[in-house]
Amino acid sequence: MSVECKVPGANPIAKSPYRLAPLEMQELSNQLQELLDKDFIRPSYSPWGAPVLFVKKKDGSFRMCIDYRELNKLTIKNRYPLPRIDDLFDQLQGAQYFSKIDLRSGYHQLRVQDEDILETTMLSTDYTKKLSFNRYINDGDLVIVYEKHDNMKAVKVCEKSVLENRFGVFKHSDWIGKPYGCKVSSHKGGFVYLLSPTPELWTLVLSHRTQILYIADISFVIMYMELIPGCVVLESGTGSGSLTTSLARAIAPMGQVYTFDFHEQRAVAAREDFEKTGLSSLVTVGVRDIQGEGFPEDLIGLADAVFLDLPQPWLAIPSAGEMLKQDGVLCSFSPCIEQVQRSSETLTSKFTDIRTFEVLLRTYEVREAKMDQCQGEESTPGSQRPCKRKHHAGEANHWQQDNSGSPIVMARPSSEAKGHTGYLTFARLKCVASSSSRVASFVA
């Protein structure tokens, strides 16, 4: 048996979640956790989201209800002749296997047609659940196969496929149902880890079609652009979508990222990547010359934040200002200080609180060495005195007793300096205190 929700051509219904009392929030959290643990539900980024509410039962407990009334209005009703109950019993003759449905969460146990799953999403105010990732690997999921910290790749799980690498042959069917983070073995005993495709890991495995932003810059950008769930963010250029993936997670589940690149193939490839990573409902990718034409007019006054990673960002700044809501934040990434200077000059007329940060990367070499080797290292030009960390008193004693040949862990700054990743310039749109219109708040 499966449920069919036919809504031909209908646009997703977007309804805000209902306000829940603290007790109801707690109950929602508990019930969602129980359903997640049983694998009856999973987190979703579907744009269809019906709000949740609670009805108090006679015994004082809460019944969780999902308000599908709007979806029901669009659904074409199924019409079946009701089977006769005695016919049904007759058909059970000789049956050996029986299953039962616990009607307390019966709805979640009915199979829904694949193409209708998106419409059955429930929208709760429990954002932590919407943002968490699946705990168990399903057929069709994207997993990050981890061999070493510098050797990972994204693989789509397909029950009939295998992964072959230097450690042997791994059957995908062995992965299904296992928790993310698990260690799986090949036919010859080699192993890899299967990790969840978080934006942090995706940035390390995505295919580079352009230079990309890495975590040091990305985390700074998300923090200083003050992104929270529900925000609307504009971005250009999309490039390889490294930043976009993290922007999408920051504004999920109800926000939206509009990202633009003038390079059509890059935009198409980015769209495909967002499909793969399950973020397509949160990201709209457009093909547009943002330096030449600016952002589209239908986004005027809608953006909480605008991010620019363009060769001549100062050309896009006036349009970015028009897109921002009152008080909105702009951030521009530039690899060189000349770009920062030109952008800052353009920013001064309409923005305030202009700040530029240089993001520096300093890597450390970490290795094990014997104590005597370690002392030798101290005199190496450019190296720093190694520092032994004492975690426990017991460990410290151990060092004192046996400091001749035991290995210790040493770390020192890498001799090859990577230098900076770039400059991040942030600015806040100036606003006119008395203005009621968002667009008018843009100081001319």
Ligand X SMILES: C[S@@+](CC[C@H](N)C(=O)[O-])C[C@H]1O[C@@H](n2cnc3c(N)ncnc32)[C@H](O)[C@@H]1O
Indicate the residue among 184 and 317 with the shorter CB distance to ligand X. 317
User: What's the angle, vertex CA 74, arms to CA 73 and CA 78, rounded to 5?
Assistant: 90
For residue 409, the cross-strand partners are 368
Indicate the residue among 12 and 296 with the shorter CB distance to ligand X. 296
Shortest Cβ 347–ligand X spacing (Å)? 18
- Residue 185 tokens read as 């073995």
Count other Cβ atoms within 10 Å, centred on residue 230: 14
Backbone phi, psi, residue 245, to 5°: -60, -40
Indicate the residue among 276 and 430 with the shorter CB distance to ligand X. 276
What is the spatial distance between Cα 198 and Cα 242, in angstroms, rounded to a whole number? 11
Shortest Cβ 307–ligand X spacing (Å)? 8
Query: Which residue from 74, 194, 210 is spatially nearest to 138, judged by alpha carbons?
Result: 194
Contact footprint for ligand X (CB under 6 A): 210-213, 236-237, 239-243, 260-263, 266, 289-292, 309-311
Shortest Cβ 12–ligand X spacing (Å)? 27
Angle in degrees, 0-180, between the axes of helices 215-224 and 242-251, rounded to the nearest 10: 40
Backbone phi, psi, residue 379, to 5°: -90, 0
Shortest Cβ 285–ligand X spacing (Å)? 11
Indicate the residue among 116 and 289 with the shorter CB distance to ligand X. 289
Give the strand pairing for 142-148 and 191-195: antiparallel
Q: What is the full DSSP assignment across 168-200?
A: EEEEGGGTTTPBTT-EEE-TTS-EEEEE---HH
Shortest Cβ 414–ligand X spacing (Å)? 24
Indicate the residue among 68 and 260 with the shorter CB distance to ligand X. 260
Shortest Cβ 209–ligand X spacing (Å)? 7
Indicate the residue among 5 and 247 with the shorter CB distance to ligand X. 247
Shortest Cβ 214–ligand X spacing (Å)? 8
Query: Residue holding tokens 């643990």?
Result: 37
Contact 424, 359 (CB under 8 A): yes
Indicate the residue among 47 and 237 with the shorter CB distance to ligand X. 237
H/E element, 271: helix 264-276
